[in-house]
Amino acid sequence: MIAGPTPRVAALVLAAGRSTRMAPHNKLLAEVDSMPMVRRVVLMALSSRADPVIVVTGHQRARIEAALADLGATFVDNPDFATGLSTSLRRGVAALPADVDGVVVCLGDMPHVASATLDRLIAAFDPVEGRAICVPSRNGKRGNPVLFARQFFAEMQAVSGDTGARVLIGAHPEAVHEVATADDGILFDIDDSQALAEAYRAMPP
């Protein structure tokens, strides 16, 4: 049950990965639009209605946190980052305040998502009406970030391996609500050098 007329939704930025496809470079520190891409993601979250914004760090933790130090986000360390994405998800969910109604899970390698997209997800979110998992879509294709209601936090902390919370979408189709958006950024992540080159050419949201 939502604790009030307006749900409180946190943002969780997963930024602990090793960037193995771009080794020895840390892709999260690569510049996109004149700033480290992880900084762009966190600024996007901070510009939205999400509160608080929690960043899970791990690989090169000191460098990532230094790139974000002046923004006011909360950091959570994941010393088990090498064993998969699920460990960052579990650490982040465990750090959420007790009074949040949901969390929107953002990926540190998706720098072109617009803050307005997070706001659209939050506006659509209503577990009582069956909209407990809000997924952005562009021309019918689902993307990230995804908003999950508190009722799924226990399952999110039970995910294992190099898997994120998206497995819950398939497990709970009755709770999923697609939110149409014109934001191409929801489909664009940076996994390798070619994608990074495309990010330099991409127009900001």
Delimit the domains of the chain by residue range: 9-201
Mean pLDDT of 58-84: 95
Task: Over range 6-12, report the average pLDDT.
Answer: 94
C-alpha closest to that of 73 among 39, 99, 102, 49: 39
Average pLDDT score over residue span 51-71: 97
Superfamily of domain 9-201: Spore Coat Polysaccharide Biosynthesis Protein SpsA; Chain A (3.90.550.10)
Predicted TM-score (pTM) of the model is 0.89
3-state secondary structure of 189: coil
Tell me: the pLDDT tens digits for 148-180? 999 999 999 999 988 888 899 999 999 999 999
Residue 194 CB contacts under 8 Å (≥ 6 apart), including other chains: none
pLDDT value, residue 196: 52
Provide the angle, in degrees to the nearest 10, between the axes of the packed helices 37-46 and 61-68: 50
Detail the DSSP E strand segments found in 43-197: 53-57, 74-77, 102-107, 133-138, 141-142, 146-149, 176-180
Q: What is the mean pLDDT of residues 109-123?
A: 97
C-alpha angle 122-11-106 in degrees, rounded to nearest 5: 100
* pLDDT score, position 33: 84
Half-sphere exposure of residue 205, counting CA atoms within 13 Å on the CB side?
22
- Say whether pLDDT at 205 is over 50: no
In whole angstroms, what is the distance from residue 132 CA to residue 128 CA?
Answer: 8
Helix H or strand E segment including 120: helix 115-124
* Average pLDDT score, the chain: 89
pLDDT band at 18 (very low <50, low <70, confident <90, very high): low
Tell me the C-alpha to C-alpha distance, in Å, between residue 168 and each of 31, 123, 152.
32, 21, 8
Residue, of 25 and 114, whose pLDDT is higher: 114
- Report the pLDDT value the prediction gives residue 6, as an integer from 0 to 100: 81
Q: Collect contacts of 21-29 with beta carbons under 8 A, ≥24 apart.
A: 21/191, 21/192, 22/192, 22/193, 22/196, 26/59, 26/60, 26/63, 26/64, 27/109, 27/190, 27/191, 27/196, 28/64, 28/108, 28/109, 29/60, 29/63, 29/64, 29/67
What is the pLDDT, as a whole number, of residue 17? 84
For residue 66, the surrounding DSSP H or E stretch is helix 61-68
